């Protein structure tokens, strides 16, 4: 998964001001039905967080989808960018479990969220019991306006397994 387009000049400026970013993703594998729609074969969701540490002057990238948070540190923006280009591998389905000769397509939905002091709320959407009325109203404002969020969605063309697996 190439997430490098999410590093824009505006996000770099925000990171250097101490604003971290979160990436929520959903990747799903579908098999088209004969006449209408599709059948979902598998789906993977997750959350990443990336940013800049002002004190140590390094960049970080964390996978928040697992029970133990895995964080990688980078001394330069170029290294973070390169990691986001070619080092994020996400297992979607075991190829041997899929039917040969059938066509499939992949859908990817990505949301990038700027984690400012105002909308820091929660990446994991934790339990909201006991939160203040102001926080609840502000969360409603963020949900309605999508402030600090950018959403992308893409769908691949239909493909056969023989197009992506090596021939034996």
106 burial level (CB within 10 Å; 0-12, 13-18, 19+): middle
Residue 119 is predicted with a pLDDT of 44
> Hey, what are 144's tokens?
């309605």
Residue 129 — very low, low, confident or very high, per pLDDT cuts 50/70/90? low
d(C-alpha 57, C-alpha 75), whole Å: 7
Q: Which residue has the tokens 């034996």?
A: 168
> Hey, what are 25's tokens?
């993703």
| CB-side neighbour CA atoms (13 Å) of 32 | 15
> Hey, what are 128's tokens?
């909201």
* Helices and strands (H, E) in the chain, number of each type: 3, 7
pTM of the model: 0.76
Mean pLDDT for the stretch of residues 49-67? 91
pLDDT at 126 over 50: no
Closest CA to 65 of 111, 123, 107: 123
């Amino acid at each position: 998964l190439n997430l490098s387009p999410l590093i824009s000049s505006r996000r770099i400026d925000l990171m250097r001001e101490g604003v971290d970013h979160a990436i929520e993703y959903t990747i799903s594998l579908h098999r088209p039905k004969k006449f209408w729609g599709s059948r979902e074969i598998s789906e993977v969701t997750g959350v990443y967080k990336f940013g800049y540490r002002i004190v140590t002057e390094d960049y970080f990238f964390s996978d928040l989808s697992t029970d133990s948070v895995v964080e990688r540190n980078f001394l330069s923006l170029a290294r973070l960018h390169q990691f986001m280009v070619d080092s994020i591998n996400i297992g979607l389905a075991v190829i041997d479990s899929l039917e040969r000769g059938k066509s499939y397509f992949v859908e990817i939905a990505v949301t990038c969220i700027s984690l400012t002091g105002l909308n820091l709320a929660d990446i994991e959407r934790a339990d909201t019991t006991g939160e203040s009325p102001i926080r609840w109203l502000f969360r409603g404002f963020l949900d309605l306006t999508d402030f600090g969020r950018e959403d992308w969605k893409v769908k691949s063309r239909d493909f056969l397994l023989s197009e992506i697996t090596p021939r034996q």
